[in-house]
Structure 1
């Protein structure tokens, strides 16, 4: 029978699962203040959750202005979603935009009073499966420790988390769509795509150098500069603002690796990949936007990651640029958060009703097309 324990920074040394693939990752978040690793996450406190032989990071958050969406449901659903909406060509987006504006005024700030289970301060979180019994024990422990907090499991999709989603539903957790994600899991399909063959030719002919063994510490500020160009300056201020300290800490984390595209000695493109139980994702990606699109830096970074897809490993490509990812053999899946509000929750009925209506509309839209 699985025992459940919650560790703080002060007593994590008592955890004996030192060989667990997430142990070194969790150590990173106990080694420094959260805001020193993720600049726009000053509203969270990290814990480690041990469930039998499983281990994950837990983040306890509260409302604070200007936070990144991994630690703020308001940022994710009332700010980030509206920004994403503006980039799409979907019908009815003006009506939806108005709904988001209304929700910003009436949804209470207490929606950000959350305990996130398995939240790694990344856009995409990877999960080990929890049984119904384990989920019940986790819930009981968290409700005792944080009785006023909503319990949230982010990053759930039917490709990777079908059983976990069913177990959460059986325990009366509610689902709320968060985004579309793209998963490449069939190497034979991927390698037969015309785009893959074109990318392979690009990799053969390019004058850039691809390096998987370079001094990450020496390039940590440049890595953040490239990531910031793409994800902060181009896309959204609500994306996590990682710091060079985060990059330097991650270079020693188990199952984490860096790939760099170099123009002579100038780093012009980079990925940091992270793997858990056969699933690979790329939480850090950036490239020099001053280079022309024809130089193919993003294509090269994607190609070298897709090469790692085989019968034992798949590539969770996260969200965004759907047509590009679909053309390279990925499939798209709606992604959800699962949540359970505390018994003491007293959000206004109108705001909760509106959130559910928006959820229904977004789910229908996601089922119709990839974007």
Structure 2
């Protein structure tokens, strides 16, 4: 296979894959301090890996209190999961919550010393098709440059990443369930849904103005405000808190599209979709929570993204509001993080053993109920 090469911010200009669909996105993260793009991420440094005709972002992270969960295993499993648990109504909720609190006192901070492959500082990462030899070569490269670091692959599900998951299994990476995700991939099924037809009627009757690729630069602060209302204030402070610099950079990034919903000239709803290799996802979504549910802002944002599903395009709807997404033709899949820890690192064995015990409980819960 072709050589695998690691680039830092100082030598990324040597990369020749300027036409790669992720080049401009990766360039943004290598040209800026990461906290300038994601305000609550101050514990990581970005790199790029080139192999053949593919290019991916790699994030080297360490522990720092209060970090966003895409760069912190502790935040993902001991903070974010506990917050999600509080929103559910399952048996043993108080017992599980107590177990999370106990684990936080046991699991060492060093567990966050990890290097993430294909981590784009968003909730849902999209991956190319790796061969087994490429995964092996990437591992050798990362072990050379980041010794004593756990290697992590986020956002793995059997619908999109079955082959990669099999390669990771062969190489002794351990799976850990992270969340429930929903994928819409059958346009004809989607269009037959009653809910889709109702959303179509809503789109025709709405008094709001729907604008695709509007003048985003004039609304960057408002976009951050709408996103933060939903994902930071309502859901969790450890969701990525993007900055206006990030939004401005995304207007020039390849394969991104902004959709805005306007009440006169007031932006009241927004999505930024990002697509790669026939799959699109929505890293940025927000709407004005002061408007009543009956206004249907979230329904409209979802509807106009679902319209893009066809034989060549899949919509990865990420996690949350599962019943809503299932009613619109999406299918449910458990999503996993795969990791390979450093065998020689002291204090890891017990921590990862405890997390695997927790993993089994979370898998059972996920099979019983859609969130």
> Shift in Å at residue 95 of structure 1?
1.5
Gaps of 5+ in 1: none
Q: Residue 332 of structure 1 aligns to a residue in which SS? A: strand
**Cα deviation digits, residues 245-269 of structure 1 (max 9, x gap):** 1000000000001000000100000
TM value normalised by structure 2: 0.99
Task: Encode CA deviations 1:256-300: one digit per residue, 9 max, x unaligned.
Answer: 010000001000000000000000000000000000000000000
SS at match of 1:57: strand
Q: Partner of 1:158 in structure 2?
A: 158
Give the secondary structure class of the aligned counterpart of 1:84.
helix
Aligned equivalents of 1:347, 1:332: Cα separation in 2 = 36
Corresponding residue of 1:27? 27
Do residues 271 (structure 1) and 271 (structure 2) align? yes
Number of positions where the alignment pairs a residue of Structure 1 with one of Structure 2: 371
Residue in structure 2 matched with residue 226 of structure 1 by the alignment: 226
Partner Cα separation in structure 2 for residue 26 and residue 189 of structure 1: 35
Identify the residue that residue 366 of structure 1 maps to in structure 2.
366
271-280 or 88-97, which moves further after superposition?
A: 88-97
Output the TM-score relative to the length of structure 1: 0.99
Matches within 5 A, 1:1-371: 1-347=1-347, 349-371=349-371
What SS class does the counterpart of residue 217 from structure 1 fall into? Answer: helix
* CA distance in 2 between partners of 1:262 and 1:126 (Å): 30
RMSD: 0.8
* Cα offset, 1:121, TM superposition: 0.2
Determine the C-alpha separation between the residues in 2 that align with 1:189 and 1:46.
Answer: 40
Mapped partners of 1:235, 1:175: distance in 2: 26
3-state DSSP of counterpart to 1:219: helix
Q: How far 1:348 sits from its partner (Å)?
A: 5.2
CA distance in 2, matches of 1:318, 1:93: 24
Contact (CA 8 Å) 2:49, 2:58: kept in 1 or not?
A: yes
Give the CA deviation at 1:89. 1.0
Task: Render the CA deviation track for 1:141-199: whole Å, top value 9, x for unaligned.
Answer: 10011111000000000010000000000000000000000000001110000000000
Q: Any stretches of 5+ residues in structure 2 without a counterpart? A: none
